[in-house]
Amino acid sequence: MTPTPKRFDPRDPSYEARVRASFARQRAMHTIGARLVRVEPGEVEIELPFRDDLTQQHGFLHAGIVTTIVDSACGYAALSLMDNESAVLSVEYKVNLLAPATGDVMRAVGRVIKTGRTLLVCTGDVMAITGPTETHVTAMQATMMAVRGRPDLVD
């Protein structure tokens, strides 16, 4: 049984603009061609079109690339709930690779499931999409940290 997604109130009324601005500065996402599709309090969606130059030796999207987009989705979901003086950093994650990542588009959705003063626990899923067919290829559990007192890191 899947729990009902929790509704969160963002601490920063400009959370969406801040998440989008931070994503735009993230060169790794630009390099691989990922795009930020949806930002809501505690939930973020990132899409990545399939590209041959991001595959491993069998022609599947490389696990490192898949993990990169779902880690970012979880991180930005967490950032959407932080105050405007905090930055977000991943401190831990665990990934299950459920199926080969092949399809037209990969959709990563990160969701916050528990907030604390400093740590936020998230789940993330990646779906491979080809036409109307969606295949669940990756599941992540992640812990994100709100970093405060570091103006050089504020997102």
Residue 65: closest CA among 37, 19, 33, 23: 33
**Domains parsed from the chain with CATH numbers:** 15-147 (3.10.129.10)
CA distance linking residue 74 with residue 144, whole number of Å: 8
Which tens digit of pLDDT belongs to each residue from 48-63? 999 999 999 999 999 9
Q: Give me the residues paired with residue 49 across strands.
A: 105
Separation CA 59–CA 50 (nearest Å): 10
Measured distance between the N- and C-terminal CA atoms of the chain, rounded to whole angstroms: 35
Structural element, H or E, at residue 37: strand 35-40
Checking if the pLDDT of 2 tops 60, the result is no
pLDDT of 8 > 70? The answer is yes
What gap in Å lies between CA 52 and CA 7, rounded to an integer?
Answer: 38
Looking at residue 150, its pLDDT comes to: 72
Residue 5 above 90 pLDDT? no
Using alpha carbons, select from 105, 107, 36, 115 the residue that is nearest to residue 76: 36
pTM tops 0.75: yes
- The average confidence (pLDDT) of the chain is 94
Listed residue (100, 108, 105, 98) closest to 132, CA to CA: 105
